Amino acid sequence: MIELNYKIEGGNFSKAGYASSQVKKKLKQFNIASKLIKNIVVALYEAEVNIVAHAANGEIEVQITPGKVLVYARDEGPGIPDVEKAMQEGYSTASEEVRQMGFGAGMGLPNIKKNVDVLEIDTDVGKGTTLKMIKNIV
């Protein structure tokens, strides 16, 4: 198993996507179909942008195993008061700044769900959120 860890800085949009880019480069070294890699990195990038957009800071942990890729995106952010609502396309609490970057349209979490096999959201209002994502690669 290979494990990758990245610190994510909240609010720093110039760096948003760096971790996802590094993970993509790593995944390309393995014999994984490009479509599956795209699914994984799109989900990861959405999660990374969410951390930058909403949290003070966070971290991304990626475990690459022969059968699946497991991703944890953890943040120290505001938490999600209503997960069901956050999963609805079009619902967003993003700031104007985030929207100006081309995000914050309320598509992030639904799109993550679409791209992975398992999505678990563990959130604590006022403390933070952890996304657990699993993509089968067999």
Q: How far is the CB of 124 from another protein (least distance, A)?
A: 25
Which residue, 7 or 38, has its beta carbon nearer to another protein?
Answer: 38
Q: How far is the CB of 10 from another protein (least distance, A)?
A: 15
Q: Tell me the C-alpha distance between 85 and 43, whole Å.
A: 19
Which residue, 24 or 122, has its beta carbon nearer to another protein?
Answer: 24
In SS3 terms, the chain reads as CEEEEEEEECCCCCCCCHHHHHHHHHHCCCCCCHHHHHHHHHHHHHHHHHHHHHCCEEEEEEEECCCEEEEEEEEECCCCCCHHHHCCCCCCCCCHHHHHCCCCCCCHHHHHHHHCCEEEEEEECCCEEEEEEEEECC
Q: How far is the CB of 138 from another protein (least distance, A)?
A: 20
Binding site for another protein (CB under 8 A): 13-14, 16-17, 20-21, 24, 34-35, 38, 41-42, 45-46, 49, 101-108, 111, 114
Q: How far is the CB of 126 from another protein (least distance, A)?
A: 26
Which residue, 30 or 124, has its beta carbon nearer to another protein?
Answer: 30
Which residue, 105 or 122, has its beta carbon nearer to another protein?
Answer: 105
